[in-house]
Amino acid sequence: QSVLTQPPSASGTPGQRVTISCSGSSSNIGTNTVNWYQQVPGTAPKLLIYTNSQRPSGVPDRFSVSKSGTSASLAISGLQSEDEADYYCAAWDDSLNGWVFGGGTKLTVL
């Protein structure tokens, strides 16, 4: 059972906007920033976006994030087939004194 809660799956058609939620608590999302990772099956996770929609070099601005209270969301606009992957949220937990992850959301591009 993951500390952060994500929906197990999400889907959309090319060009659509999709959002993936991540719910936590006051000791993690409520206090600290949230990072999002993208994982294509069979490969290592890749840092996708962090803090206030900060993106590593090469990540398109179609990806954005928001946060409210103890929840966060990842939004993908202009969905493309290459966006099909698993997405994980992560945050530092002050009570556990460690990183906690969501269970992951499998995004399918129909």
Partner 1 sequence: QVQLQESGPGLVKPSQTLSLTCTVSGGSISSGGFYWSWIRQPAGKGLEWIGRIYTSVTTNYNPSLKSRVTISTDTSKNQFSLRLSSVTAADTAVYYCAREIRYGASRMDVWGQGTTVTVSS
Secondary structure element (H or E) that encloses residue 3, with its range: none
User: Least separation, in Å, of the C-beta of 13 and partner 1?
Assistant: 26
Single-letter code of the amino acid located at 62: R
Q: How far apart are CA 48 and CA 58, in angstroms?
A: 9
Q: What angle do CA 35, 39, 96 make, to 5 degrees?
A: 40
- Using CB under 8 A as the binding rule, whether residue 85 contacts partner 1 is answered as no
Q: How far apart are CA 22 and CA 78, in angstroms?
A: 21
Residues 35, 71, 74, 85: which binds partner 1 (CB under 8 A)?
Answer: 35
Beta bridge partners of 106: 9, 86
Secondary structure element (H or E) that encloses residue 24, with its range: none
- Using CB under 8 A as the binding rule, whether residue 23 contacts partner 1 is answered as no
Nearer to partner 1, 14 or 22 (CB): 22
Residues 9, 14, 56, 66: which binds partner 1 (CB under 8 A)?
Answer: 56
User: Least separation, in Å, of the C-beta of 80 and partner 1?
Assistant: 23
- Using CB under 8 A as the binding rule, whether residue 2 contacts partner 1 is answered as yes
- Using CB under 8 A as the binding rule, whether residue 100 contacts partner 1 is answered as yes
Nearer to partner 1, 30 or 103 (CB): 103
